[in-house]
Homo-oligomer: A and B are copies of this chain.
Amino acid sequence: MITELIAVGTEILLGNIVNTNSAYLAEKCAELGLTVYYQTVVGDNEERMKQTIKAAFDRSDVVILTGGLGPTKDDLTKEMTAEVMGLPLVEDIHSRERIEKYMKEYEKNNPQRRITANNYKQALVPEGAIVLDNHNGTAPGLIVEKNGKTAVLLPGPPNELKPMFEEEVFPYFRKKQPEIIYSQMVKICGIGESQVAEDIQDLIEKQENPTIAPYAKTGEVHLRVTAKAENEKECKKLIKPVVRELKSRFGKNIFATDEKKTLEEAVVDMLKAQGLTLALAESCTGGAIAARIVNVPGVSEVFGHGFVTYSNRAKRKLLGVKKSTLKLEGAVSAKCAKEMAKGGCAAAKADICLSVTGLAGPDGGTKETPVGTVFMGCCYNDKTIVREYHFTGNRTKIRQQTCAHGLALLRDCIMEGIQKKD
């Protein structure tokens, strides 16, 4: 089915906010086998909205609209869609009750404020529409079908849109497809995007069913393997040999085959499984790796101490880096990274410590140590290994890559350690 995404809202049009909804929906549509040819952004303007919706229906089967479902007079998405589709708006009793309940709750908690009656506008729906409850706001979502065309209307805030899509819209379209579409994610770290692309070029060239779609993230590459078949079992059967092939090519660089698992979660899972405690000793990343580790809820079981040692004094004092090392080799050196990792383990009484020291720029580069040079060390089982990296890009980009590759190094070391114990 040809599908089109329309984001409604002057905030996006003026660049006040970034249109992340369309990227999210586009990825989901690919997963569902819906073919997206166009994405459009239009402001809260009657005439232009109508024209945009009309043009979308002229060339697509499914139109997914986001935003403009709120209570104000600027919120016009529902009204304009109903008009283009030739459907009257009628009150949905269930939605009205939900809004009433929400308003009472709100006024109880905010006694000095009153929600105005225009909130009930949100209970009006195009006749015959499927109403999607909004568990994180007042505006319900809608699926409207007419003459073989489908409009999906979703609220703009991502925390309202995403759960609604996953719980209701995704299953709706999955059921509609003549074939089942099923996909499996393979997430890779520690290898560059172009290297991964080269390594799978032969697979991508001859692919038919399943397909492999690469998604590049900083320091990670995600490969989505998607199959079409009569049922899920058939899909899995098609996907299995491809995933096996990917596993044989990328081996331990695959950190997850679960869509939702992040790299930091994969690392924390390994630490938990091994009963290991982690410490971090960061210079150029300034705590950003610790901040990623702390993204994982319940991480306190394995992570207690992080040291941000931006100055030489901090490296000496908190981590016991030798004065002579800093003087002779400099702070951005393999020896310093090694002493930082070792010192971090000792200072935190942790089983494993990752250290990072590098030059994120923009200034301070030399011929021997250009901007982008990073040394990372990992101390575990009384052994410390150090790796040297050369990243490119601006300060932010260098630091983001350092974080991802640091987590990848940590994974490597934990796995190596496991092998040694066995």
Contacts and interface: CB of A to CB of B under 8 A. Distances in A.
Interface of A: 12-20, 22-30, 36-43, 45, 48, 52, 55, 159, 213-216, 280, 282, 284-291, 293-295, 297-300, 303-311, 313-314, 317-318, 348, 361-363, 393-396, 399
- Number of chain copies forming the complex: 2
A36 B13 contact: yes
Contacts of A311: 300, 303-305
B314 A310 contact: no
A287 B305 contact: no
Contacts of A55: 55
A396 B22 contact: no
A42 B38 contact: yes
Contact of A37 (B13, B20, B285): B13
Contact of A310 (B289, B297, B300): B300
A41 B38 contact: yes
A62 to B, nearest CB: 15
Query: Which 9 pairs across A and B sit closest by C-beta, in order of nearness?
Result: A287-B287, A306-B308, A286-B294, A304-B311, A15-B26, A15-B27, A287-B290, A288-B291, A39-B41
Nearest to A36: B13
A37 B43 contact: yes
Contact of A299 (B159, B304, B310): B310
Given A23-B19, A216-B16, A307 B304 contact: no
In this complex, the member of A298, A310, A318, A363 whose beta carbon has the largest number of chain B beta carbons within 10 angstroms is: A310
Given A40-B40, A290-B310, 12 more contacts: A12-B26, A14-B26, A14-B213, A15-B28, A40-B41, A285-B294, A294-B399, A295-B396, A300-B310, A304-B310, A304-B313, A306-B308
